[in-house]
Amino acid sequence: MRADLPIRADLPIRADLPIRADLHCHSSASDGTRPPAEVIRAAAAAGLDVLALTDHDTVAGVAEAAAALPPGLALLPGMELSCRRDGHSVHLLAYLFDPDHPELAEECRAIRASRVDRAREMLARLADLGAPVSWEQVTSIAGGGVVGRPHIARAMVAAGVVGSVRDAFTPEWIGSGGRAHVARYALDPAHAVALVRAAGGVSVLAHPLAATRGWLVPGRLITELALAGLRGVEVAHPDHDYPKREQLRTLAAQLGLVATGGSDDHGQLTGDRIGCETTSARDLDALLAGATGAAVLTG
């Protein structure tokens, strides 16, 4: 743990001033379509003051993003950890952890390795279903980033198997539980929360009520994670309608969790939407209080 690094002193914000902070965004280091430097340019163009880069199970894009920072934009290093409970995938946003923490780094390596194995297995199943997509095509679309289902979906579109990425994420193809879907290694979410804490970071439960994901995270699991040290819950997310936001805001207040917001932008894949959801300065301040594993980066 690197407790000597300055954290909040670096943030160019005051809790009483309005700021625009998007705490959830992907680059080509995972399944976003934009390289990290381009993500930063898009964040600046969207008028953001703070952007968290939260690629899946990797911080590989942080250095390039940091090098591209213009004055006035702060980068919050983070990632979106792949977790699973009772067969359902749960995403955990983690910020300001020490990326070199041995167990956390090892778990991320294991998840990334398993993504490759499961991607190859899914391609084998697609071939069995008469829809061959080549590994070279998938890795060329991934461009060296962490291989994910969106890359396979895009390769399926390119091969003419389906008309759109959305059509690939169905029971017929690679949607959860689908004919060509293969589960991969993931962390138990309570263990992941503890691990992020051990690495000096803070964690936020991502999009718990996004119906598009086919499963809603039950309130009892959110309560369990809060007891395990979860710091916040993502309330403002494009896949949460207003009743869901209200429901989550109430739950967050009951459990003492910070309500955050983020665009979950993936570049072209989601429609360019960086900065469409944000977190208030007060909530950001509360979220990051006590995080000691890494520093907020500025240009």
Chain residues binding Zn ion by CB under 5 A are 80, 91, 206, 264
Q: Least distance from C-beta 266 to Zn ion, angstroms?
A: 7
Q: Least distance from C-beta 148 to Zn ion, angstroms?
A: 10
Q: What SS3 class is residue 32?
A: coil
CA distance 131 to 65: 37
Q: Which is nearer to Zn ion, 118 or 131 (CB)?
A: 118
CA distance 81 to 104: 10
β-strands 88-95, 202-205 pairing:
antiparallel
Q: Which is nearer to Zn ion, 37 or 269 (CB)?
A: 269
Q: Which among 272, 267, 265 is positioned nearest to 239, based on CA atoms?
A: 265
Q: Least distance from C-beta 91 to Zn ion, angstroms?
A: 4
> How many C-beta neighbours within 10 Å does residue 110 have?
15
* Residue 16 in tokens: 């009483």
Instruction: Write the CA distances from 278 to 147, 216, 222, 290, integer angstroms.
Output: 27, 22, 21, 21
Q: Which among 232, 233, 240 is positioned nearest to 210, based on CA atoms?
A: 240
Instruction: Write the CA distances from 48 to 74, 75, 132, 246, 298, integer angstroms.
Output: 9, 10, 42, 25, 13
Q: Least distance from C-beta 80 to Zn ion, angstroms?
A: 5
- Residue nearest Zn ion, Cβ-based: 91
- Classify burial at 130, counting beta carbons within 10 Å of its beta carbon; exposed 0-12, middle 13-18, buried 19 or more: exposed
DSSP assignment, residue 56?
A: E
Q: Which is nearer to Zn ion, 80 or 98 (CB)?
A: 80
Q: Which is nearer to Zn ion, 80 or 283 (CB)?
A: 80
Q: Which is nearer to Zn ion, 264 or 277 (CB)?
A: 264
Q: Which among 120, 114, 116, 129 is positioned nearest to 173, based on CA atoms?
A: 129
Q: Which is nearer to Zn ion, 99 or 137 (CB)?
A: 99
Q: Least distance from C-beta 206 to Zn ion, angstroms?
A: 5
Q: Least distance from C-beta 55 to Zn ion, angstroms?
A: 8
Q: Which is nearer to Zn ion, 64 or 264 (CB)?
A: 264
> How many C-beta neighbours within 10 Å does residue 17 have?
8
Q: Which is nearer to Zn ion, 180 or 206 (CB)?
A: 206
Q: What angle do CA 77, 293, 72 make, to 5 degrees?
A: 40
